[in-house]
Amino acid sequence: MIECMKKRRTIRQYTEQEIPESLLNELLEIASRASNTGNMQLYSVVVTRDKAGKEKLAPAHFNQPMITSAPVVLTFCADANRFVKWAEQRKAQAGFDNLQMFIAATIDAMLFAEAFAEAAEERGLGLCYLGTTAYNADQIIRILSLPKLVVPIVTITLGYPAEPLPAQSERLPIEAIRHTEQYVDYTPASIDAFYKEKEELPVNQEFVRINHKETLAQVFTDLRYTKENNEHFSDVLLNVLKEQGFLK
């Protein structure tokens, strides 16, 4: 499994091969062994296989083609609803309608999703995480009929990898990520050193060129994750947290 992890890459193109229900459920069951907050399992997953369902979800993910081309789409949700319904039915007063419990449920959903991803890849499946879920959470809530205290956090598109496999993408050196005993803030020199390899990669230099930018960082800030979009989708998310009952 360590070897599988070292070679891991995001898979955005899938073969026609279907994923049996038995395999999907086995993977979800394995994933449920992941740690979670107080064993409350504050998460749910919605599995989409129907073509019509995928087509409804696609616009919420900016029509990224993986949604409709993957045999299975999984929407992982922070979910305090099930726990609170249980509590109410058992003479218990749950005060879970707040930010801290939203974060706990988000943590639970992410550990579950990543354990699922690791198990799926170990079994030969390929997948792509979509971060668009939290951007258009309002639309996804409507499409999947998510009740109060449920917020979609991340989506995985899943299938058997089509050949040829994509190249593995680069990562920062581990010294850029790891701090020891204290967080040592980055200096101009350490930033230069840590980002050197990334900036010198031909694929990234090409990325700068075709987008007519001066630096790689500008591709991210001017095109992919603009301040304007980030702020707009933050407002959407704030409203979602209020609507779903996690924020007053």
Q: By CB under 8 A, what part of segment 217-236 binds a second copy?
A: 217-218, 220-222, 224-228, 230-231, 233-234
Q: Smallest distance, Å, CB 60 to a second copy?
A: 15
Q: Smallest distance, Å, CB 188 to a second copy?
A: 6
d(CA 125, CA 79): 26
Asked if residue 191 binds a second copy (CB under 8 A), the reply is yes
Cα dihedral sign, 229-132-111-115: negative
DSSP letters spanning 189-245? HHHHHHHHHHHH-HHHHHHHHHTT-SSHHHIIIIIIS-HHHHHHHHHHHHHHHHHTT
| Contacts of range 146-149, beta carbons closer than 8 Å, 24 or more positions apart | 146/46, 146/77, 146/244, 147/81, 148/81, 148/243, 148/244, 148/245, 149/79, 149/80, 149/81, 149/84, 149/96, 149/97, 149/244, 149/245, 149/246
Asked if residue 196 binds a second copy (CB under 8 A), the reply is no
Among 67, 125, 134, 158, interactor with a second copy by CB under 8 A: 134
Q: By CB under 8 A, what part of segment 143-162 binds a second copy?
A: 144-147, 150, 153-154
Asked if residue 215 binds a second copy (CB under 8 A), the reply is yes
Among 17, 166, 179, 200, interactor with a second copy by CB under 8 A: 179
Q: By CB under 8 A, what part of segment 77-116 binds a second copy?
A: 77, 81-83, 85-87, 89-96, 98-101, 103-104, 106-107, 110-115
| Contacts of range 46-51, beta carbons closer than 8 Å, 24 or more positions apart | 46/74, 46/75, 46/77, 46/144, 46/146, 46/152, 47/72, 47/73, 47/74, 48/72, 48/73, 48/74, 48/75, 49/73
Asked if residue 239 binds a second copy (CB under 8 A), the reply is no
**Site size with a second copy, rule: CB under 8 A:** 116
Q: Smallest distance, Å, CB 202 to a second copy?
A: 16
Asked if residue 188 binds a second copy (CB under 8 A), the reply is yes
Q: By CB under 8 A, what part of segment 11-70 binds a second copy?
A: 25, 28-35, 37-41, 43-50, 53
For a second copy, which is the closer residue by CB, 89 or 209?
89
Stretch that binds a second copy, among 12-20, 60-68, 157-165, 212-220 (CB under 8 A): 212-220
DSSP state of 164: S
Q: Smallest distance, Å, CB 15 to a second copy?
A: 21
For a second copy, which is the closer residue by CB, 177 or 210?
177
